[in-house]
Amino acid sequence: MNKKLINYLTTFVTPDRLQLFEKVLQYRTSYLTVVLEDIYQSQNASAVLRSCDCFGVQHVNVIENRNTFNVNKEVALGSSKWLSIRKFAESNNNSLNAVKTLKNEGYRIIATSPHKNDKTLEDFDLTKGKAALVFGSELPGISDTIMKEADEFVKIPMFGFTESFNISVSAAITLHHLTGKLRNNATINWQLTSVEKENIMLEWLRSTIKRSALLEQRFLENEKKKQK
């Protein structure tokens, strides 16, 4: 049904827009996903969304413990419209719930924080499987829950007096480095599956076309008539 609906909705977008969607989908990946844990400043979270879109990381997981996630439209520049954003905000320990969910989906939990067993971006092994990159809150950083549950730790080498990068800068550096390594590794199947592409294409069409819900309802009604 999704394919039929997609074919129907594509008639309401320009050929150039459709070609752009298909081109961007070829570079999207779910092999890497980003986890934002309890980010306080909306401009930081929004800048990370923008980096995810630019580097082709489709899925973003947002953990809300004390802080509510808000998109700063002036910073995000519409990037949230093209990403698959999932929130964890309903339990007493949203961080643990997010970790369990991601591990069940086959992701390694990678804490982006200095640790005695950490590795640099250059040494991080992408071939070991999918990775969920966790970026913590601005001041406290990654929570004790994430530190305890993390499978691996990764850090960005620094050679100055300042102890850390701003979270949005840290995410941008990390994604630039790892997505570059990913696409240059012929042994890793990093591209989206055909089903993932269909689902994302459908969401993009829905968010782009005016009155898409009404058009979709009309399509479904016509399909029901055909089946009678």
Q: Is 156 annotated as a binding residue?
A: yes
- CA pair distance 32, 130, nearest whole angstrom: 6
Structure tokens at 109: 């939990």
How far, CA to CA in Å, does 194 sit from each of 20, 22, 25, 38, 48?
A: 17, 12, 10, 33, 26
- CA pair distance 81, 76, nearest whole angstrom: 9
Per DSSP, which regions of 24-107 are E strands? 32-37, 59-63, 84-88
- CA pair distance 5, 223, nearest whole angstrom: 10
Please give the angle made by the CA atoms of 95, 173 and 43, to the nearest 5 degrees. Answer: 60
Q: Is 142 annotated as a binding residue?
A: no
Known binding positions: 112, 156
For the annotated binding site for S-adenosyl-L-methionine, the residues are 112, 156
